[in-house]
Chains A and B, each alone.
Chain A
């Protein structure tokens, strides 16, 4: 059923009958969101001629497109991951810069998700739409803060779109980790964190909490972390774990991609405490499923309260939900008289894909 809805041809008449001619600006195709007037896809999940990319996570930023327009940081991250030849031509856009695309004005604005992450605003004769990409409203010292944009239609993620997801203050979660280090100084503390964004945020939070020992990282995080440091994000003494180090890291904090927590790699550490920094850790069953002993609820996505608040604050009368718990937020919008619909875009927000991708890197 969802697949039928994904066809652009099937969607077009429905949207044309809506109160706002959003179809002029945006439709949904099998490759993802598409602006026909500008002839660009946004975060396409398969190769396209012209793509606008919100941020560098591998479910949104894929290799193999023709022309790519993105922030300087996002382009750099894509080059680090896929090699310099990840697309045919690249164009840098600064936050707030307005770019004309066949009469459509496109601009990129901070999303607060990871370094270089952006929301994309498209303005046309029929109105203004904002595509959020992934975003958060909570403070993050490693990237620019979310900028609120007023718009007619808001295309939002809803990774944590259930009211049970209310992220606590990240500093409190890091304090939990540090208390565990004090109580178990003979055990290594392994913290699973996505290599792009989450890992560097945790490092920065640790520094802000006064942890001044070296922070050890898995090899898969090395390039991205070095990139953050070259972008003036001060993370202190970061060291890559070598095979020989592992047995000696009692009492230390080691960051690794989530997939490595339960893999052969983790075995050589002294009686490791396995921690995982993720919004999913809010739910006990999820933490237990992964065999996590110290769940740290630290998320780079909006939680339920911020998601609802953002929808209201954008002033949008129409809300499209790209991925996550679409049904719940669509229901919430409808109870408030907003026109909302789920897009069911396949391929976004797949933690496991992300984790496996990072693990292999």
Chain B
């Protein structure tokens, strides 16, 4: 357990994805079965312990510490698991009679324990582990690892162990159980690929490249089809039948996360008998009275472990399908897009379900024509859904469905971002490689004669621009609040930044009442005096009249 705890500890501080992978792969390569398998289970969310509740931990601690000292400690540390891990009065190391428990001991112990045995069991482990070990144990049983490792990243690390592709792991993943002995045996070349096939597996999605304007000279409009790029989240809806004839349905996110528990309404639809076995690639949206709601509305249904009937009625979920990967056991991914699309269209028509429809194609004969549609989706057939469109997708009509991001087949041509000019107000140091740079920026616009913050951005700039802003921050600091610097800004002075963003919504959580979607620094406006930065009224107008019409003209090109 202490080795696993050390890994979690290190991962929690490591900002870089590649370095996280290195740490994970090193761990999987050097720790034996079944310990590493349980570690993988912990990081992919495959472990849960019904009886372990924070209240048990509080009670155990209360029996062992002075309440005043506990309160002072908790107040200082700010996290219950960490406070208990550090405060726990462990017996002297040489008085301990057993080696510290392994992760496997703990998993087996928790699974076998009755609810009333749990406090004693936990206390004995806490006695035997060191500070980091106790922290990891408490995080593990309260279900909040928060180490910045997705299930996908952990699986990728396992794949790297044996030179496999992450999607090969995904294909067998849902048929496997902790501690994954068969999985490790296979990636290390000691056994065949696990033969069990998941009746409703996740298939690594095919992704699009961002379109470069130069690409148009090379691309033939006749061989591409176009669809709207919807502002929802991409999902894979999969239905299969297991060995015993039971229907298994799952809704996956783009990264293979299982979203099923949050969408029982869609699951019920998928399990209807006439749906058959299928795998649909599409967009998850909220549709009310046939109209697509904003992304902000969709967020009400995301990141939930369960969902109330009220919420389901209030935010009805919908799948807008754009690809068919498999139908009744037949893998269609090798088929050209045209074929898949035809099968999808007839399937959606046959199913005739109000919560499932087909993402329409956009008719066009030249890139100019498509450009017009992208600029004004409402006029090009999207009508009332225009606000939920963030551009167009181009797909080669002959393209097979290739996992990953193959070149030259699919492109996304996002609508031009909105732009405002804002004044840099606060700057904060970045993390990892950027820890010596002030790279997180809060910017504001004018409201009367005052600047009000409207957003935060920490990317979009080039390395050169970052150095320039960093220099500016260091030489124009008015105040320091811990890691944050307040800059000199006034009507006479201030650095103006052009901010690009994808959308705007009302938010009571922000001082300005507005929240920007995906803001980033698009360039430094050295030429512009602070007083000529935008005013809050410009943003209000965007909200009032709808983003499409009120948006400022995008920069040329």
Q: Which residues of A contact B (CB under 8 A)?
A: 162-166, 168, 176, 180, 183-184, 261-267, 271, 274, 282-285, 287-289, 291-295, 325, 327-328, 331-332, 335
Contact = CB atoms under 8 A, between A and B. Distances in A.
B86 A282 contact: yes
Contacts, number: 83
A176 B76 CA distance: 26
A293 B15 contact: yes
Given A285-B77, A325-B72, A331-B69, 8 more contacts: A162-B69, A183-B26, A265-B436, A287-B13, A288-B13, A293-B15, A331-B66, A335-B66
A285 B433 CA distance: 19
A164 B23 contact: no
Contacts of B83: 164
Interface in B2-18: 6, 10, 12-15
Nearest to B474: A264
When A and B form their complex, which 6 residue pairs have the shortest distance between CB atoms, in order from nearest? Answer: A164-B86, A291-B435, A164-B73, A293-B13, A262-B435, A267-B436
Contacts of A166: 86, 131
Interface of B: 6, 10, 12-15, 19, 22-23, 26, 65-66, 68-69, 72-73, 76-79, 82-83, 86-87, 130-131, 429, 431-433, 435-437, 482-483
Nearest to A293: B13
A294 B10 contact: yes
A163 B13 contact: no
A295 B13 contact: yes
Interface of A is mostly: helix
A19 to B, nearest CB: 25
Contacts of A331: 66, 68-69, 72
Nearest to B89: A163
A235 B80 CA distance: 41
Contacts of A265: 436
B435 A162 contact: no
A166 to B, nearest CB: 7
Contacts of B6: 176
Most buried by B among A162, A165, A261, A332: A162
B68 A285 contact: no
Given A163-B69, A166-B131, A262-B429, A292 B13 contact: yes
26 contacts: A162-B72, A162-B76, A164-B76, A166-B86, A166-B131, A262-B429, A266-B436, A274-B435, A282-B131, A283-B82, A283-B86, A284-B12, A285-B77, A289-B482, A289-B483, A291-B432, A291-B435, A328-B69, A328-B72, A328-B73, A331-B68, A331-B69, A331-B72, A332-B66, A332-B69, A335-B66
Contacts of A294: 10, 13
A163 B72 CA distance: 9
Contacts of A293: 13-15, 432
Contacts of B66: 331-332, 335
Contacts of A283: 76-77, 82, 86
A261 B65 contact: no
Contacts of B483: 289, 291
